[in-house]
Chains A and B, each alone.
Chain A
Amino acid sequence: MNAHLQPTGSAYFIDKETQAVENHTLSVLVTNEPGVLARVIGLFSGRGYNIESLTVSETEHEAHLSRITIVTRGTPHVLEQIKAQLERIVPVHRVVDLTVRALELGSDRPVERELALIKVAGSGEARVEALRLAEAFRAKVIDATVGHFIFEITGKPSKIDQFISIMKPMGLIEVCRTGIAALNRGPQGM
Chain B
Amino acid sequence: MTGKDTQNDGKMTGAEIVLRALKDNGVEHIFGYPGGAVLPIYDEIFQQEDIQHILVRHEQGAGHAAEGYARATGKPGVMLVTSGPGATNAVTPLQDALMDSIPLVCLSGQVPTTLIGSDAFQECDTVGITRPCTKHNWLVKDVNDLAATIHEAFRIATTGRPGPVVVDIPKDVQFATGTYTPPSATQPKGNYKPKMQGDLDRIRAAVELMANARRPIIYSGGGVVNSGPEASQLLRELVELTGFPITSTLMGLGSYPASGKNWLGMLGMHGTYEANMAMHDCDVMVCIGARFDDRITGRLNAFSPNSKKIHIDIDPSSVNKTVRVDVPIIGDVGRVLEDMVRLWRATANKADKSHLKDWWDDITRWRARNSLAYRPNDDVIMPQYAIQRLYEKTKHLDTYITTEVGQHQMWAAQFYGFEKPNRWMTSGGLGTMGYGLPAALGAQIAHPESLVIDIAGDASVQMTMQEMSSAVQYNAPIKIFILNNQYMGMVRQWQQLLHGNRLSNSYTEAMPDFVLMAQAFGAHGIRCEKPGDLDDAIQEMIDVKKPVLFDCRVANLANCFPMIPSGKAHNEMLLPDEATDEAVANAIDAKGRQLV
Q: Is the interface of B mostly helix, strand, loop or mixed?
A: loop
* Chain B residues numbered 566-596 whose CB sits less than 8 Å from any CB in chain A: 566-569, 571-575, 578, 583, 586-587, 589-592, 594-595
Task: Name the B residues within 8 Å of A10 (CB-CB).
Answer: 299, 301, 567, 591
Contact among B128, B273, B595 for A12, CB-based, below 8 A:
B595
Verify A11–B567 contact, CB threshold 8 A: yes
Known: A11-B566, A84-B316, A93-B191. A5 touches B572 (CB 8 A): yes
Could you write out 27 A-B pairs with CB less than 8 Å apart? A2-B575, A2-B578, A3-B572, A5-B572, A7-B589, A8-B568, A10-B567, A11-B568, A11-B592, A12-B595, A13-B300, A14-B594, A15-B300, A15-B301, A34-B139, A39-B131, A42-B132, A81-B320, A81-B321, A84-B317, A88-B315, A88-B316, A88-B317, A90-B135, A90-B156, A91-B136, A94-B191
* Chain A residues numbered 1-48 whose CB sits less than 8 Å from any CB in chain B: 1-3, 5-15, 31, 34-35, 38-39, 42, 46
CB of A152 within 8 Å of the partner chain: no
* Chain A residues numbered 65-113 whose CB sits less than 8 Å from any CB in chain B: 77, 80-81, 84-85, 87-88, 90-94
Q: Which residues of B contact A (CB under 8 A)?
A: 127-128, 131-132, 135-136, 139, 156, 189-192, 273, 294, 297-302, 315-317, 319-322, 324, 369, 565-569, 571-575, 578, 583, 586-587, 589-592, 594-595
Verify A12–B299 contact, CB threshold 8 A: yes
Verify B320–A9 contact, CB threshold 8 A: no
* Minimum distance in angstroms from A91 CB to a CB of chain B: 6
Verify B132–A46 contact, CB threshold 8 A: yes
Chain A minimum-CB-distance residue to B280: A3
Verify A90–B300 contact, CB threshold 8 A: no
Task: Name the B residues within 8 Å of A94 (CB-CB).
Answer: 191
Verify B190–A31 contact, CB threshold 8 A: yes
* Minimum distance in angstroms from B129 CB to a CB of chain A: 11
Known: A5-B572, A35-B127. A11 touches B300 (CB 8 A): yes
Chain A minimum-CB-distance residue to B191: A93
Task: Name the A residues within 8 Å of B294 (CB-CB).
Answer: 12-13
CA distance A87 to B324 in the complex (A): 19
CA distance A12 to B594 in the complex (A): 11
Known: A8-B299, A77-B320. A1 touches B190 (CB 8 A): no
* Minimum distance in angstroms from B135 CB to a CB of chain A: 7
Verify A87–B572 contact, CB threshold 8 A: no
Range of interface residues on A (Cβ < 8 Å): 20 to 34
Task: Name the A residues within 8 Å of B573 (CB-CB).
Answer: 2
Known pairs A3-B569, A12-B566, A31-B189; list 17 more (Cβ under 8 Å).
A2-B573, A2-B578, A5-B568, A5-B572, A5-B583, A5-B587, A7-B590, A8-B589, A8-B592, A10-B299, A10-B301, A11-B299, A11-B595, A14-B595, A91-B136, A91-B191, A93-B190
* Minimum distance in angstroms from A29 CB to a CB of chain B: 9
- Looking at A10, A39, A77, which has the most chain B CB atoms within 10 Å of its CB? A10
* Minimum distance in angstroms from A92 CB to a CB of chain B: 7
CA distance A81 to B595 in the complex (A): 22
Known: A3-B572, A10-B567. A38 touches B128 (CB 8 A): yes
CA distance A7 to B593 in the complex (A): 11
Verify B595–A92 contact, CB threshold 8 A: no
* Minimum distance in angstroms from B300 CB to a CB of chain A: 6
Verify A90–B192 contact, CB threshold 8 A: yes
Task: Name the A residues within 8 Å of B592 (CB-CB).
Answer: 8, 11
CA distance A159 to B316 in the complex (A): 38
Known: A11-B299, A11-B300. A87 touches B568 (CB 8 A): no
